[in-house]
Amino acid sequence: MLLHEFRPGRLIAGATALALAVLYAGDAAAAWVAPWYAVVPVLCGGLGTAALATWVAYRIRRRSARSASSDSTEAPASTSGSQDIR
């Protein structure tokens, strides 16, 4: 049982932030030299991919919810004609 629904866009955005943190931590530790402009393609690419993944997941959830709601086309619960609250 899942505690919450899976959000792939948030996963990708978090991985992007983690990649940038590792990039600049390695630069600060003098393990390698990262140019200051390296953040732009990594950040834009990661956030764009996260947005695309979020949109695709939304469309999948919406389509599955629509197909689940259209399955209940039987008769209504009460067919006696009386809708009074007792």
Write the pLDDT tens digit of every residue in 1-39: 778 888 999 999 999 999 999 999 999 999 999 998 999
**Closest residue by Cα to residue 8 from 76, 58, 42, 77:** 58
Domain count within the chain: 1
Average pLDDT rounded to a whole number, residues 64-79: 65
Percentage of the chain beyond pLDDT 70 is 79
- Would you say residue 22 lies in a domain? yes
- Say what the pLDDT of residue 74 is: 59
- Would you say residue 50 lies in a domain? yes
- Would you say residue 1 lies in a domain? no
- Would you say residue 74 lies in a domain? no
Separation between Cα atoms, residue 15 and residue 45, nearest integer Å: 12
- Would you say residue 37 lies in a domain? yes
Q: 63: pLDDT confidence band, cut at 50, 70 and 90?
A: confident
- Would you say residue 73 lies in a domain? no
| Structural domain for 33, as ranges | 8-66
pTM of the model: 0.71
Positive or negative: CA dihedral 49, 53, 54, 56: positive
Mean pLDDT across the chain? 85
- Would you say residue 71 lies in a domain? no
- Would you say residue 48 lies in a domain? yes
Let me know: does 8 contact 45? Beta carbons within 8 Å: no
